[in-house]
Amino acid sequence: MHRFTYMRKKLETEYLAESLRGHLTYFVTNYHKMHDGDEGRVALRLDGAELIKSNYFERMAAQWHHYYDNASDSDDSTVKWDEATLKALHDGEFFQIDFYRAFAEFDSQSIEQSRSSENALVRMFALLDRRTGKRTLEKLRPVMAHEPQWLQLVYFIRLEAEHMPLLPENSIQEQSI
């Protein structure tokens, strides 16, 4: 738990955008009776309500579902498993260790690298980061349309916290004509 205490402090004080401080919190708990004792549950909470949550069991169920039902026609089980892993993460399902690894990547690189990371969890940390300003958030609008829904939700929460319109300005003007 020492590892998460350190992470939480950095995420909620050092990195978190001022507009979200006191509203957005990270939560991690371990399932102590698990076979390896190092898995558990992760959640992102806004004013106490869980926005994003994942745990070992949901992640494994999602990954197996993608492996059997949606994986490619490849006969290589490793390729199929890797594809299923990516699809599970796209659905917002991740292991606790994925969360820790994403933080380690985020914490060790520039904010620009984090915003363009292949890891959606790293991009989530970057969206919530104080170094991602309003102009950058505005520039990210076209990119966010192609992101997983759970990451779009984080983006919209950040826009709302910054008192920015959820729709681009030109889109609002087009709708009123």
If you average pLDDT over residues 77-96, what whole number do you get?
82
Burial letters 132-150, b for 16+ CB under 10 A, else e: beeeebeebeeebeebeeb
C-alpha radius of gyration, the chain, whole number: 17
Considering only residues 155 and 171, tell me which one the structure prediction assigns the higher pLDDT: 155
Considering only residues 164 and 59, tell me which one the structure prediction assigns the higher pLDDT: 164
Considering only residues 22 and 168, tell me which one the structure prediction assigns the higher pLDDT: 22
Question: Nearest 5 degrees, angle CA 95-CA 133-CA 172?
Answer: 100
Q: How confident is the model at residue 72 (pLDDT cuts 50, 70, 90)?
A: low
Cα–Cα distances (Å) from 4 to 97, 98, 145, 155, in that order, read 11, 13, 31, 24
Name the residue ranges covered by the structural domains of the chain. Answer: 2-173
pTM for the full predicted model: 0.83
**Do 122 and 150 meet the contact criterion of CB atoms below 8 Å apart?**
no
CB count in 10 Å sphere of residue 72 = 10
Report pLDDT for 41: 84
Q: How confident is the model at residue 11 (pLDDT cuts 50, 70, 90)?
A: very high
If you average pLDDT over residues 81-86, what whole number do you get?
81
Q: What pairs with residue 30 in β-bridges?
A: 40
Report pLDDT for 37: 57
* Spatial CA neighbour of 24 closest among 12, 10, 15, 7: 12
If you average pLDDT over residues 153-168, what whole number do you get?
93
